[in-house]
């Protein structure tokens, strides 16, 4: 370890290497999955792309595995070492290399916190669409590596939709640049798309060119309280069929609503707790108002009540409330095990029903909420963190849910990635030749298997 620290210190300076007992254990934000925070051989904090390349070159030459690590807000254990790796932290690479507000584009380094990117865009009347939670801590590189989305993903897309160029260090230490400040480029294979969502298993993202767009003048939140999941999920499909384009189209089932109802900012959600549909219309002030009115009309056909936020402050309060749902659900029984499965949107109601049926079979309460327009729900089994038996039953229920989602033509992860915790999940939803192609891509780029081993394995 001492000689490893000395070798890495020659590359990045002794202040930016931690080795031995001081280097860990390191966790991320993954909850209740028996994930054991691992102890790396060293943590290294390079300060430039050239230093990242030198670190990767050194590790590859020495046969040392690496774990790229951003803000450690990941929910699949992707940035958690399993033991003995070199953790490459990107937090010092936080420069804005170039910002052309008039051209709606920016080049930033991987370690820039996502919230800084949002603030910078906002100060210039622009926006960057993806808005995953934990933005003060999560980094652009981590957001890209997980192809993160957020509440607005239905209308605005996920990280991949906003990246036009990626700079990355690939084994055995080469710097590659795919794309750039270009809005269109079909010359090569989609290497940008390959790196986005690769969870640090192919290379280390060091910088990216991102697309921005003018921020809308106004946004108006709409809440529909429906009698049950059938009515609520049908209302979501009605919104699509009506050709409306809300930026958010979320739902909360009765379990989720009951947990968070006390803090609901726009009145009383009623008893018993309703199945809630949440939407947002945006545009000029007039467009946002007429979009909200159209949503109200469509949703009212299936709802017992519809509320439209009457001021920007009410809309902001609504999203703050929505942000708190996960915590409120977790507080009900002292812990939870949540999945981020996604299904074709016409299977939404089946997903809510399947989650409840599994909860009932394993003796656990459930709560399901999330991005209904994308068919992506946080299907959650409530279990006290201190109750080993309940946690085991939650694990079994979650495992059956993943199998159900794959069989329903969906995915075991619509948002958080495979990481460590969904090891083997991909092979449930892809056939053998497709899985073989996935493995072949990994082998071609990282033949020695040194980039984040054990993660995103089919």
Ligand X SMILES: Cc1cc2nc3c(=O)[nH]c(=O)nc-3n(C[C@H](O)[C@H](O)[C@H](O)COP(=O)(O)OP(=O)(O)OC[C@H]3O[C@@H](n4cnc5c(N)ncnc54)[C@H](O)[C@@H]3O)c2cc1C
Binding site for ligand X (CB under 6 A): 28-29, 67-75, 78-79, 90, 110, 132-134, 138-139, 141-143, 145-146, 148-150, 199-200, 204-205, 415-416, 419, 452, 455
Instruction: Quote the least distance from Cβ 415 to ligand X, whole Å.
Output: 4
Instruction: Quote the least distance from Cβ 340 to ligand X, whole Å.
Output: 8
Q: Do the strands 96-100 and 105-109 form a parallel or antiparallel pair, or are they unpaired?
A: antiparallel
Instruction: Quote the least distance from Cβ 304 to ligand X, whole Å.
Output: 28
When the beta carbons of 274 and 338 are compared against ligand X, the nearer one is 338
Q: Tell me: cis bond preceding 172? Omega within 30 of 0 counts.
A: yes
φ/ψ (deg, to 5) at 21: -60, -25
Total Cβ atoms within 10 A of residue 94 = 16
User: Based on the number of CB atoms within 10 Å of its own CB, is 385 exposed (0-12), middle (13-18) or buried (19 or more)?
Assistant: middle
CA 118 to CA 127: how far, in whole Å? Answer: 7
Both tokens assigned to 264: 């609901």
CA 344 to CA 325: how far, in whole Å? Answer: 24
* Residue at token pair 């399993």: 82
φ/ψ (deg, to 5) at 289: -65, -45
CA 451 to CA 127: how far, in whole Å? Answer: 32
Instruction: Quote the least distance from Cβ 81 to ligand X, whole Å.
Output: 10
Kind plus residue range of the DSSP H or E element containing 402: helix 388-407
* In contact, 68 and 200? CB cutoff 8 Å: yes
When the beta carbons of 353 and 423 are compared against ligand X, the nearer one is 423
Give the residues across from 221 on adjacent strands. 280
Q: Angle between the 348-361 and 388-407 helix axes, to the nearest 10 degrees?
A: 150
Rounded to the nearest angstrom, the gap between the alpha carbon of residue 143 and the centroid of all alpha carbons in its chain is: 7
Instruction: Quote the least distance from Cβ 176 to ligand X, whole Å.
Output: 12
Q: Closest residue to ligand X, Cβ-based?
A: 142
When the beta carbons of 79 and 220 are compared against ligand X, the nearer one is 79
Strands (E), 387-457: none
Strands (E), 201-341: 204-211, 213-214, 218-226, 248-252, 275-283, 303-308, 336-339
When the beta carbons of 85 and 253 are compared against ligand X, the nearer one is 85
Q: Do the strands 86-89 and 42-44 form a parallel or antiparallel pair, or are they unpaired?
A: parallel
CA 292 to CA 306: how far, in whole Å? Answer: 11
Both tokens assigned to 428: 């449930």
Instruction: Quote the least distance from Cβ 298 to ligand X, whole Å.
Output: 25
Q: Determine the Cα angle at 394 with ends 151 and 349, to 5°.
A: 50
Strands (E), 234-335: 248-252, 275-283, 303-308
């Amino acid at each position: 370890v001492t000689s490893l620290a000395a070798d890495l210190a020659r590359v990045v300076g002794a202040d930016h290497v931690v080795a031995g007992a001081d280097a860990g254990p390191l966790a991320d934000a993954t909850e209740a999955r028996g994930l054991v925070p691992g102890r790396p051989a060293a943590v290294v904090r390079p300060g430039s792309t050239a230093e990242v390349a030198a670190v990767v070159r050194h590790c590859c030459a020495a046969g040392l595995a690496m774990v790229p690590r951003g803000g450690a807000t990941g929910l699949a254990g992707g940035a958690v070492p399993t033991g003995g790796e070199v953790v490459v932290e990107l937090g010092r690479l936080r420069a804005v290399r170039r910002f052309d507000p008039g051209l709606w584009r920016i080049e930033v380094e991987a370690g820039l916190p996502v919230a800084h990117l949002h603030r910078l865009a906002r100060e210039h009347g622009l926006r960057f669409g993806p808005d995953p939670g934990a933005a003060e801590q999560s980094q652009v590189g981590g957001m890209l590596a997980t192809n993160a989305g957020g509440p607005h993903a239905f209308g605005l897309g996920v990280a991949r939709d906003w990246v036009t160029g990626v700079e990355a260090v690939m084994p055995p230490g080469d710097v590659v640049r795919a794309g750039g400040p270009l809005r269109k480029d079909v010359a090569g294979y989609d290497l940008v798309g390959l790196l986005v969502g690769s969870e640090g298993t192919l290379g280390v993202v060091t910088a990216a060119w991102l697309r921005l767009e003018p921020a809308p003048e106004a946004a108006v939140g709409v809440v529909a309280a429906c009698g049950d999941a059938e009515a609520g999920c049908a209302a979501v499909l009605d919104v699509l069929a009506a050709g409306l384009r809300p930026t958010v189209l979320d739902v909360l089932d009765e379990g989720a609503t009951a947990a968070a109802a006390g803090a609901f900012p726009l009145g009383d959600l009623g008893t018993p707790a309703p199945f809630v549909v949440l939407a947002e219309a945006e545009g000029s002030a007039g467009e946002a108002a007429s979009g909200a009115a159209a949503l109200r009309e469509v949703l009212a056909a299936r709802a017992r009540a519809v509320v439209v936020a009457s001021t920007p402050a009410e809309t902001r309060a609504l999203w703050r409330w929505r942000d708190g749902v996960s915590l409120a659900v977790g507080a009900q029984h002292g812990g939870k095990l949540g999945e981020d499965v996604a299904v074709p949107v016409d299977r939404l109601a089946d997903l809510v029903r399947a989650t409840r049926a599994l909860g009932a079979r394993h003796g656990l309460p459930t709560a399901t909420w999330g991005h209904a327009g994308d068919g992506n729900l946080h299907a959650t089994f409530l279990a006290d963190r201190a109750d080993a038996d309940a946690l085991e039953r939650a694990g079994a229920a979650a495992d059956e849910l993943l199998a159900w989602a794959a069989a329903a033509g969906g995915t075991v992860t619509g948002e958080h990635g495979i990481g460590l915790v969904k090891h083997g999940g991909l092979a449930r939803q892809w056939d053998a030749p497709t899985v073989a192609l996935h493995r072949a891509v990994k082998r071609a780029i990282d033949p020695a298997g040194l980039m984040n081993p054990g993660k995103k394995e089919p």
